[in-house]
């Protein structure tokens, strides 16, 4: 009798990811669930099997994962730990109400505190946004259960450390001073962590913008968990009927794209060659206008990288405003989002840019610019599946209502450049990845393409450069070392992972190869810089951002994109 085949850890992990997504889609269609009910427990079980790197010690029954908590609370609305009821909604008119929007530090989503117990969170970025937040909430409830278990004795009674934390919270709310070392001692027992680890975590939370103190978070996570266990007051997550009806129908992406094309139409620019760049909303602007806006009398800089580092410092807000103001007066137009996508767009008229003020790294071809009059369309980063929605809608012809019906005007797209952050599988933070194909995790979808960038474009600048397949993952918070090693060492030979590439490429191929709404020969440029290496402990996204390490690769990629456009 043959022995049953034993699954590898990577196979178990991939099955857990599929289980999570099946559960989340089921609960979304159903309209709600209790995180510690039967359905919620299925998600918790799958996440515990997966044990994502970003959630560190999630599987430890006693030790609370502190870096993971800091990571998720930068992506969740401030005060969510106090809310027993969480409701995910679409854009339903709250932006016109008296409720003040709460915007997390690291996610562009509007949230509204309805009352002491309820938080509404707007989901307008597609399914990836919903999966992202449900994964973070599931992790939050797992850690809350650890706090509860550490706070109660064998008979279910609250421990002395918990009562002391209650007193500290009252003092903190009243603005009174308290002995932080004594407080950290009580807190360390409730967290199952050492005193040193607790002190460091308290300091990290205090220095994180738009996140409550660790004392506050631990108290409220523990409080709601204890009340559910002892008093049967369940926590709940629900989805509005409007959200379930609208998701996946490109409603926000269509409005966003129409606003952009209407602006170009009104400027009579639709016939001019347009170069789409997906990147952050500052590197192109700073490269084109930074030297002109900031005089050398203020400080002496001679290279673009030096200028970029100066502009990236927190205390240089006035200087950043000066660059933006100058740009808006010299050919840059900023289209703030009103559609709900939360994707800002900048449009640059190259005819209004003074080539004499450009950095030496930019190879400006005056004859080409005057002859072709290219337009640069810079769009802020999309999120996961949202990339398909916005690119698909953007590449369609502009439709204008006329007395005789709809008039379709083609959109002249010459090139599409995607610059993004990604996890690297061989290398470190700040290194560069040049993809040759995008493979969509968990599906049979793969997208080989001809990249106008190659490894040679980025060599010789002091950065490690990798070229090969990129994996478009369902969520960066759902990866562990076993899956990532499989992608790296198998015949896929992946160099990195990100969340948008396959979605962008699917939209581009549909527009250029099938719908023929843009040229089949549209130039494509993809380049990513490493935000983390999830295979190295301490180098995951939860360990912190790139900081100044990200300046060099960001501006190197920006320069290479611009030179291929404005160099003719």
pLDDT in tens, 143-189: 999 999 999 999 999 999 999 999 999 999 999 999 999 999 999 99
Q: How many CB atoms lie within 10 A of CB 344?
A: 16
**Burial environment of residue 213 by CB neighbours within 10 A (0 to 12, 13 to 18, 19 or more):** middle
Which of 58, 43, 18 shows the shortest CA–CA distance to 138? 43
Nearest Cα residue to 204 out of 103, 63, 67: 67
Check whether 193 has a pLDDT greater than 70: yes
Tokens representing residue 127 in the block? 């399914």
- pLDDT per residue as tens digits for the range 305-357: 888 888 888 888 888 999 999 999 999 999 988 888 999 999 999 999 999 98
Q: In the prediction, which pLDDT does 111 show?
A: 97
pLDDT above 90 as % of the chain: 74
Q: Reply yes or no on whether the pLDDT at 133 is more than 90.
A: yes
At 541 the pLDDT is 63
Per-residue confidence (pLDDT) for residue 7, from 0 to 100: 81
Q: What is the pLDDT of residue 238?
A: 97
Is residue 5 predicted with pLDDT exceeding 80? Answer: no
> Which residue shows structure tokens 């003092």?
171
- How high is the pLDDT of residue 539? 61
- Please say whether the beta carbons of 540 and 480 come within 8 A: no
Q: Output the pLDDT for position 14.
A: 85
For residues 556, 562, 566, 568, the Cα torsion angle rounded to the nearest 10 degrees is 80
Kindly tell me the number of DSSP H helices and DSSP E strands found in the chain: 18, 17
CB 546 within 8 Å of CB 262: no
**Mean pLDDT, rounded, for 347-369:** 94
Task: Encode pLDDT of 215-258 as tens digits.
Answer: 999 999 999 999 999 999 999 999 999 999 988 788 899 999 99
Mean pLDDT, the chain, integer:
92
Confidence (pLDDT) at 440: 92
Most confident stretch, 124-138, 371-385, 525-539: 371-385
Residue 365 and residue 550: Cα distance in Å, rounded?
28
Q: What is residue 124's predicted lDDT score, i.e. its pLDDT?
A: 84
Contacts of 433 (CB under 8 A, 6+ apart): 422, 424, 465, 466, 467, 468, 470, 495, 496, 527, 528, 529, 530
pLDDT at 338: 86
Q: Which two tokens stand for residue 289?
A: 């206008």
The yes-or-no verdict on residue 2 having pLDDT over 80 is: no
DSSP characters for 408-463? Answer: EE---EEEEEEEEEEEESSS-TT-EEEEEEEEETTSS-EEE---S--GGGGTTSSS
| The pLDDT value given to residue 18 | 87
Tell me the per-residue pLDDT of 267-280, one tens digit each, with 9 for 90 and over. Answer: 999 999 999 999 99
In angstroms, what CA-CA distances link 104 with 8, 73, 165, 543? 38, 8, 26, 18
- Tokens representing 539 are 């180098």
Kindly report the number of other CB atoms within 10 A of residue 129's CB atom: 23
Distances (CA, A) of 131 to 43, 86, 245, 340, 438: 12, 15, 17, 18, 21
Calculate helix-pair angle for 283-293, 304-312, nearest 10 degrees: 100
Beta strands in 318-379 (DSSP E): 332-335, 345-349, 375-379
What is the share, in percent, of the chain residues with pLDDT greater than 70?
96
What does the pLDDT read at residue 303? 86
**323: exposed, middle or buried (C-beta count within 10 Å: 0-12, 13-18, 19+)?**
buried
- Model confidence pLDDT, tens digit, residues 474-502: 887 888 888 889 889 988 899 999 999 99
Beta strands 375-379 and 345-349, pairing class: antiparallel
pTM of the predicted model as reported, rounded to 2 decimal places: 0.90
Tokens at residue 340, please? Answer: 């709900």
């Amino acid at each position: 009798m043959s022995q049953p085949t034993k699954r590898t850890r990577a196979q178990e992990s991939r099955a857990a990811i599929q289980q999570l997504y099946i559960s989340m889609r089921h609960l979304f269609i159903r309209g709600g669930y209790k995180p510690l009910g039967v359905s919620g427990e299925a998600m918790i079980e799958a996440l515990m099997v997966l044990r994502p790197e970003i959630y560190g010690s999630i599987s430890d029954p006693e030790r609370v994962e502190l870096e993971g908590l800091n990571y998720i609370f930068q992506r969740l609305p401030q005060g969510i730990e106090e809310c027993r009821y969480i409701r995910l909604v679409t854009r339903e008119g709250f932006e016109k109400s008296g409720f003040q929007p709460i915007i997390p530090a690291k996610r562009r989503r509007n949230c509204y505190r309805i009352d002491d117990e309820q938080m509404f969170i707007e989901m307008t970025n597609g399914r990836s946004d919903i999966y992202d937040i449900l994964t973070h909430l599931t992790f939050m409830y797992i850690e809350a259960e650890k706090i509860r278990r550490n706070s109660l004795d064998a008979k279910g009674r609250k421990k002395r450390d918990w009562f002391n934390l209650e007193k500290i919270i009252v003092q903190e709310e009243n603005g009174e001073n308290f002995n932080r070392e004594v407080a950290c001692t009580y807190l360390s027992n409730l967290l199952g962590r050492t005193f040193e680890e607790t002190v460091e975590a308290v300091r990290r939370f205090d220095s994180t913008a738009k996140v409550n103190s660790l004392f506050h978070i631990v108290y409220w996570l523990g409080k709601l968990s204890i009340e559910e266990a002892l008093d049967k007051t369940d926590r709940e997550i629900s989805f509005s009927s409007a959200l379930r009806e609208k998701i996946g129908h490109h409603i926000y992406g269509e409005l966003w794209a129409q606003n952009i094309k209407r602006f170009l139409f009104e400027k009579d620019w639709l016939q001019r060659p347009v170069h789409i760049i997906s990147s952050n909303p500052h590197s192109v602007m700073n490269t084109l206008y930074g030297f002109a806006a900031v005089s050398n009398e203020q400080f002496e800089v001679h290279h673009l990288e030096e200028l970029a580092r100066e502009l990236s410092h927190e205390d240089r807000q006035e200087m950043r405003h000066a660059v933006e103001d100058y740009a808006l007066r010299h050919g840059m137009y900023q289209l703030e989002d009103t559609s709900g996508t939360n994707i800002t767009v900048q449009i640059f008229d190259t005819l209004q840019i003074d080539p004499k003020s450009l950095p030496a790294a930019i190879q400006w071809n005056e004859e080409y610019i005057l002859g072709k009059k290219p337009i640069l369309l810079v769009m802020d980063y999309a999120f996961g599946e949202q990339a398909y929605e916005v690119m698909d809608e953007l590449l369609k012809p502009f439709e204008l209502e006329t007395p005789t019906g709809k008039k379709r005007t083609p959109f002249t797209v010459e090139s599409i450049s995607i610059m993004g952050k990604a996890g690297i599988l061989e290398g470190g933070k700040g290194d560069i990845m040049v993809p040759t194909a995008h493979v969509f995790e968990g599906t049979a979808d793969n997208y080989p393409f001809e990249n106008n960038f190659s490894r040679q474009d980025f060599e010789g600048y002091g950065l490690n450069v990798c070229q090969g397949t990129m994996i478009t993952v369902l969520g960066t918070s759902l990866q562990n070392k076993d899956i990532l090693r499989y992608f790296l060492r198998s015949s896929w030979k992946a160099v990195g992972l990100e969340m948008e590439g396959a979605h962008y490429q699917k939209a581009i191929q549909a527009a250029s190869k099938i719908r023929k709404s843009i040229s089949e020969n549209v130039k494509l440029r993809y380049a990513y810089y490493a935000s983390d290496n999830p295979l190295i402990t301490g180098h995951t996204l939860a360990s912190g951002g790139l900081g100044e390490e990200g300046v060099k690769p960001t501006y190197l990629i920006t320069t290479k994109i611009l030179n291929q456009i404005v160099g003719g």
